[in-house]
Amino acid sequence: MRKLLTGALMALAISLPGLLPAHANAAGDEDEFYERLNTMMRIFDMVRKEYVDEVDDKQVIEAAIQGMLKSLDPHSTYLNPDVYQQVRVQMEGEYGGLGIEVQMENGVVKVVSPIDETPAANAGIQGGDLITHIDGTAVVGKTLTEAVKEMRGPVGSPITITVIREEEPTPFEVKITREKILVRSVRHRIEDETIGYIRVTTFNMQSGVGVENAIKKIVSELGDDLDGVILDLRNNPGGLLDEAIRISDAFLDRGEIVSTRGRRKENNSRWYATTGDMLDGVPVVVLVNAYSASASEIVAGALQDHRRAVLLGDRTFGKGTVQSEIRLGGAGDQAVRLTTARYFTPSGASIQERGVEPDIEVLFPNQRRAKLRREADLQGHITNDQRSQDRAGEYDEPLPEDIADKTVKPAKKPAGQPDVPPEDVQLRYAIKLLKNMSVLPKEQIAELQQPRSR
């Protein structure tokens, strides 16, 4: 049995170069390493022979792989062929399902954000909702990939999910009909006659060109009447790093956008803006909230550090790690999504756990009492090893007091007034801010946007 296991492990090591730890070259450490793998195989063999019911070898091995990856951090995972195909389709901007971005939290599925104009959004699903049951079956005990697979299905088929929402006293059920999800990740419009508004809901392969086209259309429509642009990244859970870099580059004329650092040299990279700000210095406000994550935070951090934009809203989610999709080959497409690096804003700050703080805090009514969950609340999250988020005063010059207050509290509804849909106070304040900035001389705006030398 020992020879059989050793042979199998050696074959595994040969087929996956780099699997063995570097310290396994030492004789003592190597013996201990193989002994632990031997123990794992013995337990697997014991489960196959002794468990009360017959087990599916494939499922048991996949569960072991998922357990290993989930012990590292909440974002590393194994993508089996079915899930890998779904992920690829989603990144390309089209898939079938409900239209929600999710992650696993405390054994249940947490909604990071519903995608605009999808069945989930139309059914009222909100960021922060916890899904405990899918068609009456408990989510507890399932992996995220299993839960996602159950939520996706044929177009037109119904699904019932059980939801826990913080402000609701009891769980409630929501019946949704699955649809073909065309992820239109970028939308734009004109606000208040002179303000361009661009919303990015996710970072897929279409997002960068979508933002560039939106800017061109806004500039073409308003011309010299353009007072400013609002980039709305609220409830955007992130996506592709390349698209975050491309979108940042659209607003920047020079300088670093983001850097990544990992254990391996090939994971250490820096990306810089190319010459040419598509808005030629027109003021920008970026809207963020607690569910602006990952790629959203890369864009927000880059524009804030270069003082190209004013960040308005709430502190962001705080996911400052990069996941690489490593294909495994073999039977069918399968991959490991593995955390391989941390990313850093141009000032060298890591937002892991901490998020990006807005320049101007604008919260919705009653939000101060709501307990919002961020990266720091996820079990097993990677800690931020920077001593402080302080950027050493490099970009800490405050906005002029005549442009903005530091904290804005929305006005309370007068007593007896009938309920109406809540006003988007963050958007309205962003419009007011840009209108105020438009009366400043261009030289003063350019000076405000100029980052200090390091």
pLDDT in tens, the chain (454 residues): 334 334 444 444 434 444 455 554 566 778 888 888 899 899 999 999 999 999 999 889 889 988 999 889 888 988 888 778 777 766 776 677 898 888 888 899 999 888 888 999 999 999 999 999 999 999 998 988 889 889 988 889 999 999 999 889 999 999 999 998 776 789 999 999 999 999 999 898 889 999 999 999 999 999 999 999 999 999 998 989 999 999 999 999 999 999 999 888 888 999 999 999 999 999 999 999 999 999 999 999 999 999 999 999 999 999 989 888 888 876 668 889 899 999 999 999 998 888 999 999 998 766 654 566 777 667 677 777 765 444 333 333 333 333 333 334 444 555 555 444 568 999 999 999 999 987 776 666 666 666 644 4
Please give the backbone phi and psi of residue 93, each rounded to the nearest 5 degrees, phi first.
105, 15
pTM summary value: 0.67
Catalytic residue from among 70, 110, 142, 319: 319
Residue 335: count other Cβ atoms within 10 Å of its Cβ. 20
* Annotation marks residue 453 as catalytic: no
pLDDT at 389: 40
pLDDT of residue 398: 35
Tell me, yes or no, if 305 is annotated catalytic.
Answer: yes
How many Cα neighbours within 13 Å face the side chain of 180? Answer: 2
The catalytic position among 129, 305, 314, 359 is 305
**From 294, 296, 347, 350, the catalytic residue:** 294
Nearest C-alpha neighbor of 69 from the set 55, 83, 90, 56: 83
The third-level CATH classification (topology) of the domain covering 94-182 is Pdz3 Domain (2.30.42)
> Any idea where the domains of the chain sit in the sequence?
2-50, 94-182, 186-449
Q: What angle do CA 229, 234, 238 make, to 5 degrees?
A: 105
The position carrying tokens 């399968």 is 334
- The pLDDT of residue 447: 62
Q: How far apart are the first and last CA of the chain?
A: 62
Cα distance between residue 115 and residue 317, in whole Å = 17
- Is 269 an annotated catalytic residue? no
Task: Evaluate whether the domain defined by 186-449 bears CATH number 3.90.226.10.
Answer: yes
Q: Determine the 3-state secondary structure of 144 from DSSP.
A: helix
